[in-house]
Amino acid sequence: MFSPRSSRGDKAKPFERGLMSQTLENRASPDAATQLDIYRRMVRIERNDEFTRTQIRRGRITAPYYSARGQEVIPSTLSNLMTDDDVICTIYRGIHDMVAKGMPLRPLWAEICGRIDGTCKGKGGPMHLTHPETGVMVTTGIVGSSMPIANGFAWASLLDGSKRVTVAYFGDGASNIGAFHEALNLASVWKLPVIFVCSNNGFAEHTRYENATSVDFISKRAIGYGMPGYTVDGNDPLDMYAHAHAAIERARAGDGPTLLECKTFRFMGHVFGDADSYMTKEEKDAALAKDPLVLFRQKLLDDGIATEEQLEEMKTSIEAEVQDAIDFAFESGYASVDELRRDVFAEEIPA
Amino acid sequence: MFSPRSSRGDKAKPFERGLMSQTLENRASPDAATQLDIYRRMVRIERNDEFTRTQIRRGRITAPYYSARGQEVIPSTLSNLMTDDDVICTIYRGIHDMVAKGMPLRPLWAEICGRIDGTCKGKGGPMHLTHPETGVMVTTGIVGSSMPIANGFAWASLLDGSKRVTVAYFGDGASNIGAFHEALNLASVWKLPVIFVCSNNGFAEHTRYENATSVDFISKRAIGYGMPGYTVDGNDPLDMYAHAHAAIERARAGDGPTLLECKTFRFMGHVFGDADSYMTKEEKDAALAKDPLVLFRQKLLDDGIATEEQLEEMKTSIEAEVQDAIDFAFESGYASVDELRRDVFAEEIPA
Amino acid sequence: MSTETAEMLKMTGQAAITAALFQAMEEDSKVLVFGEDVADREGGGVMGTTRGLSTKFGDLRVRSTPIAEQSIVGAAVGAAMAGYKPVAEIMLMNFITVAMDMIVNHAAKLRFMSGGQSTVPLVIRTLTGAGWQTAGQHSDHYEGWFAHTAGIKVVAPATPADYKGLLLSAIQDPDPVLFIENSRTLFVPGEVAADQGPIPLGKARVAREGTHISLITYSGMVANCLAAAAELETQGISAEVIDLRTVSPWDKDAVLASADKTGRAIVVHEAVRHFGPGGEIASTIQEELFRKLKAPVRRLGAPYSAVPFAKVLEDAFLVQPADIAAAAKALCEYD
Amino acid sequence: MSTETAEMLKMTGQAAITAALFQAMEEDSKVLVFGEDVADREGGGVMGTTRGLSTKFGDLRVRSTPIAEQSIVGAAVGAAMAGYKPVAEIMLMNFITVAMDMIVNHAAKLRFMSGGQSTVPLVIRTLTGAGWQTAGQHSDHYEGWFAHTAGIKVVAPATPADYKGLLLSAIQDPDPVLFIENSRTLFVPGEVAADQGPIPLGKARVAREGTHISLITYSGMVANCLAAAAELETQGISAEVIDLRTVSPWDKDAVLASADKTGRAIVVHEAVRHFGPGGEIASTIQEELFRKLKAPVRRLGAPYSAVPFAKVLEDAFLVQPADIAAAAKALCEYD
Ligand SMILES: Cc1ncc(C[n+]2csc(CCOP(=O)(O)OP(=O)(O)O)c2C)c(N)n1
Ligand SMILES: Cc1ncc(C[n+]2csc(CCOP(=O)(O)OP(=O)(O)O)c2C)c(N)n1
Ligand SMILES: [Mg+2]
Ligand SMILES: [Mg+2]
């Protein structure tokens, strides 16, 4: 992943793409500060995830949890290139997307714990976290549904005359559902400023990519929508940066949507606690051995972008932030049952 | 269409396809008898259509009618290559597909007229004609829905161990709906013996192809499903024959599905009687000038495959068949209202 | 609102909808209209209902779409959350089946699931109704599904004035609204005040006053109930016809007041009777007026079948004025 | 069928379903099972309900699918028309929203629209139910939609024996059946006869006899009604609990017999009360037993909101035994 070959920047070709895939020409590279920012977002995601799993193991969180451990690079890189005005529509496995986007951890944790101080007053929970201030507009639990909604936000950018970009996150499995097709076609016909970001972690629940997907690279489907589509090493911040940069620039320039297929791996299975029996130990070990967090950390040190001390300090301060959020969450109260009558409509439902 | 260029057989390239479209290698050619059979099916479709429109004009048929005048070549060629065991799933604009497949005209007309002797006892009408004996399994009024159902029939062929082939007919507009995507992906992953036949007539209701479809050739979408996809001159029986032959052979051999995009034109607009204001007089006139029925007739004469007399006799006997069906239909009675309680379930609903 | 001196125009429900869309788009630049064929390039809709809008308000606010209902409603949801007021058209109600996820799991729920942060002020206009021999996949009434779905309102007008007034309210409403047009009433002309403004959602209309029995209905069945009431009058039975206008939330006060007065009620809808929306209303009436009812509350709706094609069957499928009159007479004679 | 001397096994509803699938596939080579992750390569389902089937019956009859519910149900429709008996799994009921067209416009209607030529003997198994904090898009009850759709049966078992017996009947049935599993009951063990065979669709079960009031329910709410009945007994109220087993067609005879006997009835379901399936049953009871009822027929269901996430809200969302007992007590004191 961070072999000399792939760090050569614009010559990187981490995947042997089939005949008809597209290759990016002008590749942007992240400077030192940008790399550090991406890494900081990754650590924030990873620490938050680790702390979440600890709370689950202790029985303090009872809801199902879809860890994105291993997929940190994708939203961290994209978020570095987005502002608070830019928006995302994400999925049940999407807390990393939110954390990368800068969502504050206190209301996030309070929501995961079902508390009144949660982003959604405890009514949505981890699968429906929403935080418009940082552009986290929709989190859906329905496979594929982030994409058609993202188009609506992108249309609004055209109507507003703004440069706002919308990112729709989804998985490889979601690329086989109807909503994907309808959304990509509409986005292309309407030239919408939207980026379809597929985190291809090789599995959809227990189903291996090739057992459900009829094409070797999802990026090839972009051909059918007259849109650029790239297969990216989603664990390599440099490859991700180049492609995310191009897609965002294209969207802001009014040139329309892009499909990014970002290859990655989820370290914790589908839902935290599942048996992983649908993958081999070898492939899992191989993926773990290439933990993008570890590799990127080493690269920052090797390239002199940061020192051990700096990175430790970063981690410590992030851990403090997460711990503060946890404490905040568990001290927060629960919504009153009257909340069942609120937010159904703007007007409260009479008792 | 029947220019020297396109009749050169395996060298025909009637459309300037974009970079990534596929071109068929070994092109089969129809012999004289086959050409005559295809033409006979075309005339049966065209005469039936003409007589239908006459009845509508006289106010004797009240339901909306979606004429396929101009699209005769597509199902006529495919049906020549299919047996009664092979099945089709078609759409509201599908009577030509049924007539080509060999559906008897008496129950067809009785159904269009809502009579008890109709294929569906008058309960389905022209949009839901069904005739299992000739393999007309489903006619749907929902755009896109012929395709997922066709997969089920194709799966049954695998289960039966039979060589039965299933054809799913649909329009260009339907290639933008989710069902198309889901069906083509599943068919490819499961290697189903199904052929997806898109009659691309350039319009979906009043919407021009390019205003709703993000790719220049629908056949390119096949790339995203790892399946062969061809853009065919759907008004040229030779080009159609070559591609239909290859697709059917492939399906029968157990090699999986094919997408055929068949370029054509509907002469009568979306629904019979519509104003056509969404197309220019020039393009319509140009299409009418290349009426595939007229051109193919001339070719049969030019090539000495048939004589004027033979073709006139063919027409006369087909007209007699249609007239007989009309007379039969208008003499047939109506279902009793008890039929509302029958065929809901196998068991009759109690009164 | 119309007053007695207001200028009255004669127009169809369709023209009233067109007028409402023009007015709403003029008054509020956030209002958007889109759906299959709705722009003028495509003739302003296959029925012409949206004709002129794209020419007047531009291609960015009025857009034709591919045939992809899920992406239509999805775009409406996103645009609504981004501050717009999309009016999306799903050509016919049966085609809503391919967009159910977007409506039910998203449009209707996002406000609640986000704890009030997301607002989804969209309108979905759709058309349905038997009577034109379009058979089993083009004329179903599924308003009951959406009435049962928390977070979306369901409006089903019966007159041109209501088509206009209720659509204006639906567009202004801060929440998702399903706006159901009926193919038998849409082209029937009626009086509409030249300055017809919004008519509040959730408020029923007494379409005809009466004292012996209450006919509670909406959409295409209002006409059939009025015809039945006219017939009943010749038999000495005075029927009150309540046009709900909004199916959900429905006007419980108006319905109970009428049933309380008459002591007899029939709920009439075009939808299939079995597990249909009439159950909610009939059940509520008997719950609230248990001792006061002179007869059981009846429900009339379509039989348990798909909409048939043959005219003779289609006529039998639809609740006819004679069916209503017969049921009303039987109730008045109930003992 | 089980007799008093039959050997009884202790198993969960899930195990009963697995057993039914094995039995049905063994007895009839036309039975197929497919859906997301159902084959053994994928672990035999995310819950393991279909574990072992693909190994035993082969990859052609037991298949995992892409995440594409429309193509899942579509393939079921086609295979059913081609003579097979597909049992398709839609992982959770909320995901049915993306397959509504295939179910409503096709599976349920093709027999009718074809005048009886097409038969569609498919089963759609799906799971739902609040109580696990999966929130607004993973625990809805939409059985009312399908009960309102002519041409598809709706089955909702409450016990392991019924899970087995009703699934066997659903698979044998010549028409489409929606088979609803409830996440709160699926893993609760109960007694199942070793030779448990098909239990007829459309027939209710008296889950508990009583004389003062009838609690009419199904699926996950049977347990809550039984708990309420136990509580009511301590207060001297004898409640009869009718488990419908099949929501549509529902067992009118059994329900009316019970309500006739007790003179009081409450319909209880997990689905939202507003325009919920309870309306059909409550309305029918009052129509048929108008003079015989001692009190109005009540309906209990979820409040008009999405399923909330926080446990405290989710508990309040679900109808609890105490709610049922309180409503029953009030009805018994009704005057
Ligand atoms: C329409 C729909 N069908 C099924 C599911 C159940 N489900 C939840 S996650 C998932 C797998 C999705 O896989 P992928 O898109 O690859 O995303 P990943 O979980 O790998 O991030 C499935 C099938 C769902 N949520 N929605
Ligand atoms: C899901 C759905 N949406 C909309 C319609 C209305 N409709 C009927 S035909 C049609 C156009 C279809 O165009 P195309 O697929 O190109 O087929 P053609 O009519 O040209 O043969 C539309 C939009 C429908 N029947 N189903
Ligand atoms: Mg995945
Ligand atoms: Mg077309």
Q: Is some CB atom of chain C closer than 8 A to the CB atom of D275? A: yes
* D95 in contact with ligand 1, CB cutoff 6 A: yes
Q: What domain range is C222 assigned to?
A: 205-332
Q: What angle do CA B129, B186, B227 make, to 5 degrees?
A: 100
* C91 in contact with ligand 2, CB cutoff 6 A: yes
Ligand 4 center–CA C99 separation, angstroms: 21
D182 with D219, same domain? Answer: no
The answer to whether residues C252 and C233 touch, using CB atoms and an 8 Å cutoff, is no
Beta bridge partners of A136: A88, A131
Q: Is D335 exposed, middle or buried (0-12, 13-18, 19+ CB in 10 A)?
A: exposed
For residue D94, the chain C residues in CB contact (below 8 A) are 105
**How many angstroms away from the CA of A189 is the closest CA of chain D?**
23
Ligand 3 center–CA A170 separation, angstroms: 8
Ligand 1 center–CA A41 separation, angstroms: 25
Does D114 sit within 8 Å of B124, measured CB to CB? yes
Q: Is some CB atom of chain D closer than 8 A to the CB atom of A348? A: no
Report the side by side order of strands in the sheet with D205-208.
Answer: D205-208, D239-243, D213-217, D265-272, D298-302
Helical packing angle, C13-27 and C160-172, nearest 10°: 30
Q: How many CB atoms neighbour CB B213 within 10 A?
A: 26
Question: What's the whole-number average pLDDT of chain B?
Answer: 93
Neighbours of ion ligand 4 (CB under 5 A): B 171-172, 201, 203-204
Q: Is A58 exposed, middle or buried (0-12, 13-18, 19+ CB in 10 A)?
A: exposed
Question: Is B2 contained in some domain?
Answer: no
Question: Is A95 contained in some domain?
Answer: yes
**Per-residue pLDDT averaged across C68-77, rounded?**
98
Q: What is the DSSP letter of D296?
A: P
Estimate to the nearest angstrom the gap between the alpha carbon of C35 and the chain centroid: 19
**How many angstroms away from the CA of D66 is the closest CA of chain B?**
7
Pick from D38, D46, D67 the residue to mutate for probing ligand 1's pocket: most ligand atoms within 8 Å of its CB.
D67
At D262-306, the pLDDT tens digits run 999 999 999 999 999 999 999 999 999 999 999 999 999 999 999
Q: Say how far apart CA A342 and CA A337 lie, in whole Å.
A: 9
Beta bridge partners of D246: D155
For residue D135, the chain A residues in CB contact (below 8 A) are 63, 123-125, 127-128, 141
D256 with D301, same domain? Answer: yes
| Predicted confidence (pLDDT) at residue B193 exceeds the cutoff of 90 | yes
**Per-residue pLDDT averaged across D224-231, rounded?**
98
**How many angstroms away from the CA of D16 is the closest CA of chain C?**
30
Read off the tokens for A229.
């589509």
Question: Is B351 contained in some domain?
Answer: no
Backbone φ and ψ for A67, nearest 5 degrees, come out as -70, 145
* Number of domains making up chain D: 2
Pick from D91, D94, D127, D128 the residue to mutate for probing ligand 1's pocket: most ligand atoms within 8 Å of its CB.
D91
Does A180 sit within 8 Å of B177, measured CB to CB? no
What per-residue confidence (pLDDT) applies to D139?
A: 97
Beta bridge partners of C88: C34, C124
D26 with D158, same domain? Answer: yes
**Per-residue pLDDT averaged across D120-136, rounded?**
97
Asked if the bond preceding D249 is cis, omega within 30° of 0, the reply is: yes
* D98 in contact with ligand 1, CB cutoff 6 A: yes
Read off the tokens for D240.
């009869």
C33 with C154, same domain? Answer: yes
Q: Say how far apart CA C177 and CA C170 lie, in whole Å.
A: 6
* B143 in contact with ligand 2, CB cutoff 6 A: yes
| Active-site option among D138, D141, D212, D269 | D138
The CATH number linked to C94 is: 3.40.50.970
Question: Is C70 contained in some domain?
Answer: yes
D185 with D247, same domain? Answer: no
Q: What angle do CA B125, B130, B134 make, to 5 degrees?
A: 140
Q: How many CB atoms neighbour CB A20 within 10 A?
A: 17
At C133-161, the pLDDT tens digits run 999 999 999 999 999 999 999 999 999 99
| Predicted confidence (pLDDT) at residue A63 exceeds the cutoff of 90 | no
**Per-residue pLDDT averaged across C79-101, rounded?**
98
Beta bridge partners of D149: none
Read off the tokens for B13.
């390239």
Read off the tokens for B267.
């002469």
Q: Measured between alpha carbons, how far is residue A149 from residues A187, C75, D288 in Å?
A: 11, 5, 47
| Predicted confidence (pLDDT) at residue D73 exceeds the cutoff of 80 | yes
Q: Residue B4's pLDDT band (boundaries 50, 70, 90)?
A: very low
What per-residue confidence (pLDDT) applies to A62?
A: 86
Show which of C193, C216, C248 is a domain's final residue. Answer: C193
Most C-contacting residue of B121, B123, B339 (CB-CB within 10 A), to test interface? B123
Asked if the bond preceding C249 is cis, omega within 30° of 0, the reply is: yes
Q: Is some CB atom of chain B closer than 8 A to the CB atom of D81? A: yes
Read off the tokens for D217.
């329910």
Q: Is C235 exposed, middle or buried (0-12, 13-18, 19+ CB in 10 A)?
A: exposed
Backbone φ and ψ for C40, nearest 5 degrees, come out as -70, -30
| Predicted confidence (pLDDT) at residue D316 exceeds the cutoff of 50 | yes
- Out of A185, A214, A220, the one facing B185 most closely (by C-beta) is A214
Q: Say how far apart CA B255 and CA A147 lie, in whole Å.
A: 33
Q: Measured between alpha carbons, how far is residue C304 from residues B274, C291, C293 in Å?
A: 34, 31, 28
| Predicted confidence (pLDDT) at residue D180 exceeds the cutoff of 90 | yes
Read off the tokens for A68.
């994105």
Q: Is C26 exposed, middle or buried (0-12, 13-18, 19+ CB in 10 A)?
A: exposed
Backbone φ and ψ for B293, nearest 5 degrees, come out as -65, -45
The CATH number linked to C221 is: 3.40.50.920
Does B125 sit within 8 Å of C43, measured CB to CB? no
> What percentage of chain A carries pLDDT values higher than 90?
89
pTM of the model: 0.97
Backbone φ and ψ for A251, nearest 5 degrees, come out as -65, -50
Estimate to the nearest angstrom the gap between the alpha carbon of A225 and the chain centroid: 23
The answer to whether residues D189 and D223 touch, using CB atoms and an 8 Å cutoff, is no
Interface partners of D (3+ CB pairs, < 8 Å)? A, B, C
Backbone φ and ψ for A223, nearest 5 degrees, come out as -55, -40
Pick from B203, B205, B262 the residue to mutate for probing ligand 2's pocket: most ligand atoms within 8 Å of its CB.
B205
Q: Say how far apart CA C249 and CA A350 lie, in whole Å.
A: 12
- Out of B144, B206, B335, the one facing C310 most closely (by C-beta) is B335
Does C310 sit within 8 Å of B122, measured CB to CB? yes
User: Mind giving me the DSSP string for A242-284?
Assistant: HHHHHHHHHHHTT---EEEEEE---TT-SSTT---TTS-HHHH
At A275-328, the pLDDT tens digits run 788 899 999 999 999 999 999 999 999 999 999 999 999 999 999 999 999 999
Residues of C annotated as catalytic are 138
Does C135 sit within 8 Å of D113, measured CB to CB? yes
Question: Is D4 contained in some domain?
Answer: no
Does A145 sit within 8 Å of C102, measured CB to CB? yes
**Per-residue pLDDT averaged across B26-41, rounded?**
97
At D1-18, the pLDDT tens digits run 445 667 999 999 999 999
What per-residue confidence (pLDDT) applies to B19?
A: 43
C244 with C287, same domain? Answer: yes
Does B173 sit within 8 Å of C64, measured CB to CB? no
Question: Is B272 contained in some domain?
Answer: yes
Estimate to the nearest angstrom the gap between the alpha carbon of C88 and the chain centroid: 16
Nearest CA in chain C to A88: C78
Q: Which helix (H) or strand (E) holds D178?
A: strand D177-182
Question: Is D49 contained in some domain?
Answer: yes
Gyration radius of chain B's alpha carbons? 20
- Out of C76, C79, C101, the one facing A145 most closely (by C-beta) is C101
Q: Say how far apart CA A208 and CA A219 lie, in whole Å.
A: 17
Q: Is some CB atom of chain C closer than 8 A to the CB atom of A142? A: yes
What per-residue confidence (pLDDT) applies to B113?
A: 97
Question: Is C288 contained in some domain?
Answer: yes
Query: Which residues are within 8 A (CB) of A254 and not within 5 positions of it... i.e. 6 or more apart?
Result: A191, A193
Q: Measured between alpha carbons, how far is residue D198 from residues D22, D40, D172 in Å?
A: 14, 26, 9
- Out of A20, A176, A182, the one facing B223 most closely (by C-beta) is A20
Ligand 3 center–CA A171 separation, angstroms: 5
Q: Which helix (H) or strand (E) holds D15?
A: helix D13-27
Q: Say how far apart CA C88 and CA C28 lie, in whole Å.
A: 16
For residue B261, the chain A residues in CB contact (below 8 A) are none
At C221-260, the pLDDT tens digits run 999 999 999 999 999 999 999 999 999 999 999 999 999 9
Residues 172-191 of A with CB under 8 A from D: 173-174, 176-179
C19 with C112, same domain? Answer: yes
Q: How many CB atoms neighbour CB A16 within 10 A?
A: 9
| Predicted confidence (pLDDT) at residue C188 exceeds the cutoff of 70 | yes
Show which of C166, C193, C220 is a domain's final residue. Answer: C193
Q: Is some CB atom of chain C closer than 8 A to the CB atom of D98? A: yes
At B232-261, the pLDDT tens digits run 999 999 999 999 999 999 999 999 999 999
The CATH number linked to B282 is: 3.40.50.970
| Predicted confidence (pLDDT) at residue C5 exceeds the cutoff of 90 | no
Q: Is A236 strand, coil or helix?
A: coil
Read off the tokens for C204.
């029923």
Does D68 sit within 8 Å of B185, measured CB to CB? yes
Query: Which residues are within 8 A (CB) of D53 and not within 5 positions of it... i.e. 6 or more apart?
Result: D21, D22, D25, D33, D38, D39, D40, D44, D62
* Number of domains making up chain A: 1
D50 with D175, same domain? Answer: yes
Amino acid identity of residue C278, one-letter, is: G
What per-residue confidence (pLDDT) applies to B16?
A: 45
Q: Say how far apart CA B44 and CA A136 lie, in whole Å.
A: 59
Interface partners of C (3+ CB pairs, < 8 Å)? A, B, D
Q: Say how far apart CA D311 and CA A264 lie, in whole Å.
A: 34
Q: Which helix (H) or strand (E) holds D254?
A: helix D252-262
Show which of D148, D167, D193 is a domain's final residue. Answer: D193
Ligand 1 center–CA A204 separation, angstroms: 6
User: Mind giving me the DSSP string for C214-233?
Assistant: EEEE-TTHHHHHHHHHHHHH
Closest CA to B134 of B87, B72, B175: B87
Question: Is C198 contained in some domain?
Answer: no
C234 with C187, same domain? Answer: no
D33 with D165, same domain? Answer: yes
What per-residue confidence (pLDDT) applies to B277?
A: 84
Q: Say how far apart CA B204 and CA B180 lie, in whole Å.
A: 15
What per-residue confidence (pLDDT) applies to A11?
A: 36
Question: Is A350 contained in some domain?
Answer: no
Backbone φ and ψ for D104, nearest 5 degrees, come out as -80, -50
C72 with C111, same domain? Answer: yes
* C76 in contact with ligand 2, CB cutoff 6 A: no
At A118-143, the pLDDT tens digits run 999 999 999 999 999 999 999 999 99
Most D-contacting residue of A340, A344, A345 (CB-CB within 10 A), to test interface? A340
C119 with C180, same domain? Answer: yes
* A205 in contact with ligand 1, CB cutoff 6 A: yes
Does A176 sit within 8 Å of B185, measured CB to CB? yes
Does A223 sit within 8 Å of B215, measured CB to CB? yes
Question: Is B13 contained in some domain?
Answer: no
Q: What domain range is B136 assigned to?
A: 24-325
What per-residue confidence (pLDDT) applies to D3?
A: 52
Greater confidence (A135 vs A6) lies with: A135
Query: What torsion do the CA atoms of B149, B154, B157, B158 make, to the nearest 10 degrees?
Result: -120
